[in-house]
Structure 1
Amino acid sequence: MGPHYNREAELRERFNRFVSDKITGIVDDYYARLKVEDFEDIKTTLRDINNIITYKATVRLLEWVRDRFPYVRDNYEFHLDQVLKTKPNDNGYDLTVVGDVNIIAEVKCNRPINDGYKFGSQQKAGIVKDIQGLLNGKSKATSVDPTQAFKFAAIYDFGDRTISAVNHLIRNLSTDLKERVTIYKEGQLLTKDKVHIVFIK
């Protein structure tokens, strides 16, 4: 007969392994040190995890844009400062550049559901909403006319599954939307009438 399942032993092992592997590099029983109140504090702190992910991915996108637009390269520190000053959930775009070149962009860090090759329904709805916002504008993002801006939907690249999920998403867009979305390939001519999907890492 196999060993009996022990819920606490499993939770302890998973928690300790995560803290050791990802944070401290030191094997220890962190689980034993923490009370329920401490775990609640951790849970509260981790509510910001999506904002952390979006911020880091937005900076990576800004670097990608900098490498392709001389105006952004010449004013990189200013635009980085703008990203730093943008509050989470301000209902604008994740990245806005206004000047000699206008750029608006949204960032998504969605891993395909169940580690598969498709996005889940909520993930797809969020990406489509962002694409529509890039094409049609947002009520709280009035500093730039979307018809006069280069538009990017940046998807964090978790590997081949992400690329497959994006291709599946595009294939299933409505006809009018599908014609206005393209996956960017290096060297491709950028136009203002389409949303260019870029993969960032």
Structure 2
Amino acid sequence: MNYNREDELKFRFNQFIISKVTGENKDYYSKLTIEDFVDIKNTLSNINNIITYKTTISFMDWLRDHFSYVDENYEVYLKDVLKVKPSVNGYDIMVTGKVNIVAEIKCNKPINNGFKYGSAQKNGIIKDIQGLLEGKTKVNFNPIHAYKFLVMYDFGEHSLKATEHLIKNIPSGYRGKVEIYNDKTQLKIDKVYVVFIK
């Protein structure tokens, strides 16, 4: 059978819409114009923001479980998260009061479904680690007295191995200052803790 590019594109598009969205076995591809596909593309350009937002909310629940102060004031900090625009220069989560917490949320999937981050991913993660440890010029908050978290969306073993590799090869100025959180970790304010969240 000869390859037909449109048949493949149609099949893949329809299968995704049927299995993930509608459940109805129809030919959605043929009903859409080029303008419709452009609208879909523009809508999907927000996917990274959606993934980051959902991961942020999951981490807020994690914080509730680990810090009674966050649990008691959850609605206040949830409102703060909801009103932050995706492009803002601040921290993704900032808690101040009886306990201070700053967090950066990352949803990087290691490149090629592998076990290392690509150079652009690695540079972005290191920049966030720097901001957590040293502060940010456009944020009126010194993180020195805050618990610091780098929150990674959990893509399973890929995320773990890539993060271990990154920590092992981190620039010397940050060695010993970043570790992967586990249930036995004793939190200190001079480190960045990597937390994997689904």
Common fold: TM-score over 0.5: yes
Paired residue for 1:171, among 146, 165, 168?
A: 168
Q: Deviations over 1:135-158 (max 9, x none)?
A: 11112221x311011000001111
Matched positions, count: 198
Question: Which residue is equivalent to 2:75?
Answer: 77
Question: Which residue is equivalent to 2:187?
Answer: 190
Distance in structure 2 (CA, Å) of the matches to 1:25 and 1:97: 41
Question: Which residue is equivalent to 2:89?
Answer: 91
Distance in structure 2 (CA, Å) of the matches to 1:26 and 1:141: 48
Distance in structure 2 (CA, Å) of the matches to 1:187 and 1:89: 35
The share of aligned pairs that are identical, in percent, is 55
Q: Deviations over 1:77-129 (max 9, x none)?
A: 11111111111111101111111111100011111111111111111111111
Distance in structure 2 (CA, Å) of the matches to 1:86 and 1:122: 24
- Structure 2 unmatched runs, 5+: none
Secondary structure at 2:66 match in 1: coil
Does structure 1 residue 107 correspond to structure 2 residue 124? no
Distance in structure 1 (CA, Å) of the matches to 2:25 and 2:134: 51
The residue correspondences of 1:100-179 to structure 2 (distance < 5 A) are: 100-142=98-140, 144-179=141-176
CA RMSD of aligned residues (A): 0.9
Distance in structure 2 (CA, Å) of the matches to 1:81 and 1:26: 37
Amino acid at match of 1:146: P
Distance in structure 1 (CA, Å) of the matches to 2:84 and 2:66: 23
Q: Deviations over 1:4-44 (max 9, x none)?
A: 11000000001001111111122211101100000000111
Secondary structure at 2:38 match in 1: helix
Amino acid at match of 1:180: K
Distance in structure 2 (CA, Å) of the matches to 1:53 and 1:67: 21
Distance in structure 2 (CA, Å) of the matches to 1:69 and 1:191: 14
Question: Which residue is equivalent to 1:200?
Answer: 197
Amino acid at match of 2:28: Y
Give the ranges of 4+ consecutive aligned residues of structure 1 lying more than 4 Å apart after TM superposition: none
- Structure 1 unmatched runs, 5+: none
Deviation, 1:66, is 1.1
Distance in structure 1 (CA, Å) of the matches to 2:119 and 2:78: 33
Question: Which residue is equivalent to 1:28?
Answer: 26
